[in-house]
Amino acid sequence: MSANLLWAEVPQVTVDVDSTKSDLAQSTQAQIGRYLDDRGHAKFREAAELAAGLSNVYLRVVWDVELRPRPWLDVIPATAVVPEWRWGMLAAATVWRELEPLAEGGDVWRLLEYHTPGFIEYGVYRGDNSTLGMLMGFDDHHETEFLVKRTDAHGRQATGVDRLLITHMPNVLPNRIWDGVPDTAPLGRSDYAGIEPMMDALDESWSSWMRDLRLGKARVVVPQEMLDTDGPGSGGSFDLDRELLVSVSGFLGDEKSMKDSITDVQFKIRVEEHERTTKELRRQILSSAGYSAQSFGEQGTVAVTATEIAARKEESLTTRGLKILYQRPALLEVLTTMMWVDVKHCGAKKVDPAAELTASWPQAVQPDPEATARTLSLLESAGAISTYMKVKMREPAWDHAEVMEEVRRIRDDKTQETPAGDPFNTRDVDPNEEQPDDDVEPGFDEGQGEELDEEPVGGGSRPTLAA
């Protein structure tokens, strides 16, 4: 849920035009859009889900021009990284992973990468489950043979980028449990922190409910005389699907006593009690983790207005805004690192890695188009809004260039319309050009005059008609 709230849509990353040249700003903006394609979007969503559960996650920039023309991201869980902090910032990091075990013995092979600004130092170790073991050569394991050509005599590789290729992304801070423990303050806090007892209680309540279902199964108790014997010493059995039972006279009695001798046993299943208990525990767990029950479908899926949805999801939206504060710096930092790697190793042209970036997340709850239209209409009637702001309110995710393009389209459409007060569409008529008199009938000589022979009603002067 945390990852869906944050990365259901791609954030809008914009290059600050004042931090670079105008032509470089457009090409850099286009390259960032390529980084945030479907693969990049999926990687950030994956990282957000791991961070919510493990309190933090790491993003590593990798490249291989034989596989892809641009660098991409590798998500590393917090359990596979040993960080080094300086004033709360990541100064160095050791990434480790287990290699494929070899045939001989039960040794554990590990590859360690020590990341510092500008360099990566590799080491292959052979040990066991609890010991790192002895430093081995790269060619001693088939998964690390490629490092022989990539590293120097000390096992180091120059990245050509004067910055870490690993970015740390915490979930939220601070961590309440690790308070006072050295080098743990920047690690972040998991969504599960502090709610483990309630989750244990929910597990116990659900187990009790399932136990009631097992005990509530209908059972039949029959006298021993009704059992079918399987032979001496083998016990007996009773066929529940048998349709006909024949009583032995004088042994089981009449049919009524035979019927009464069969007893059914079925315990009560406490559905309502368990449902209320688990529902309240679930609500408390979600609230303690910072989420609304509405986000998990507790209130149904009936269509309501955007204002009502925002009110029901207030806790989830607040948590989303809090996590954006920690994920926005990580997003901008890793994109800057990708640009440096792209220019250095992938031959990217017209990309300025030193350009400053800004990021904005789309609204979690989209506004009601009808309500937005009413608001814009009222503001326009009051003369309190410009065309630019009307377009910006309608499409908040658009940048300045897109908004200005829409404003120009609106103005062009208005100029093509017939102006008010000009029903005959004379806006294109040259006022200095002589125009024909629309009141003159066809065949009438405009150079002549004519007097009216008829006298006006009621007497008076006789009007004349001048051509």
Sign of CA dihedral 23, 36, 364, 173: negative
Phi-psi region for residue 425, left (φ > 0), alpha (ψ -120 to 50) or beta? left
Pairing of strands 56-62, 166-170: antiparallel
Q: Are 10 and 199 in contact (CB under 8 A)?
A: no
How does pLDDT run across 88-126, given as a tens digit for each residue? 899 999 999 999 988 777 889 999 999 999 999 999 999
Rounded to 10 deg, the angle between the 400-416 and 387-394 helix axes is 120
Determine the pLDDT at residue 431. Answer: 53
Q: What would the 3-class secondary structure string for the chain be?
A: CHHHHHHCCCCEEEECHHHCCHHHHHHHHHHHHHHCCHHHHHHHHHHHHHHHHHCEEEEEEECCCCCCCCCEEEEEEHHHEEEEEECCEEEEEEEEEECCCCCCCCCEEEEEEEEECCEEEEEEEEECCCCCCEEECHHHCCCCCCHHHHCCCCCEEECCCCCCCEEEEECECCCCCCCCCCCCHHHCECCCCCCHHHHHHHHHHHHHHHHHHHHCCCEEECCHHHCEECCCCCCEECCCCCCCCCCCCCCCCCHHHHHHCCEEECCCCCHHHHHHHHHHHHHHHHHHHCCCHHHHCCCCCCCCCHHHHHHHCHHHHHHHHHHHHHHHHHHHHHHHHHHHHHHHHCCCCCCCCCCCEEEECCCCCCCCHHHHHHHHHHHHHCCCCCHHHHHHHHCCCCCHHHHHHHHHHHHHHHHHCCCCCCCCCCCCCCCCCCCCCCCCCCCCCCCCCEECCCCCCCCCCCCEECC
pLDDT bin (cut points 50, 70, 90) of residue 305 is low
Q: Is the pTM of this model over 0.85?
A: no
How does pLDDT run across 17-76, given as a tens digit for each residue? 888 888 899 999 999 999 999 999 999 999 999 999 999 999 999 999 999 999 999 999
**What is the C-alpha to C-alpha distance for residues 393 and 372, in angstroms, rounded to an integer?**
8
Q: Which residue carries 């569409």 as its tokens?
A: 425
pLDDT bin (cut points 50, 70, 90) of residue 423 is low
Q: Are 350 and 342 in contact (CB under 8 A)?
A: no
Of 81, 150, 73, 74, nearest to 115 (Cα)? 81
CA distances from 352 to 18, 24, 29, 73, 289 (A): 12, 6, 10, 19, 40
Residue 116: which residues within 8 A CB-CB, separation 6 or more? Answer: 91, 92, 164
Separation of CA 403 from chain center: 25
**What is the C-alpha to C-alpha distance for residues 83 and 130, in angstroms, rounded to an integer?**
20
Of 109, 44, 48, 104, nearest to 74 (Cα)? 44
pLDDT bin (cut points 50, 70, 90) of residue 131 is very high
Residue 26 burial by CB count (10 A; 0-12/13-18/19+): exposed, middle or buried? middle
Backbone angles phi, psi at 219, to 5 degrees: -130, 155
Determine the pLDDT at residue 108. Answer: 93
Determine the pLDDT at residue 20. Answer: 87
**What is the C-alpha to C-alpha distance for residues 200 and 180, in angstroms, rounded to an integer?**
27
Determine the pLDDT at residue 302. Answer: 47
How does pLDDT run across 375-417, given as a tens digit for each residue? 888 888 898 889 999 898 888 778 788 899 999 999 888 887 6
Pick 156 or 248 by higher pLDDT.
Answer: 156
Determine the pLDDT at residue 447. Answer: 46
pLDDT bin (cut points 50, 70, 90) of residue 248 is low
pLDDT at 252 > cutoff 80 = no
**What is the C-alpha to C-alpha distance for residues 293 and 296, in angstroms, rounded to an integer?**
5
Determine the pLDDT at residue 448. Answer: 46
- Give the pLDDT mean for 311-325: 82
Backbone angles phi, psi at 39, to 5 degrees: -65, -45
pLDDT at 354 > cutoff 90 = yes
Read off the amino acid at residue 234. Answer: S
Domain boundaries, the chain: 2-191+313-360, 193-217+267-289, 219-265, 369-416
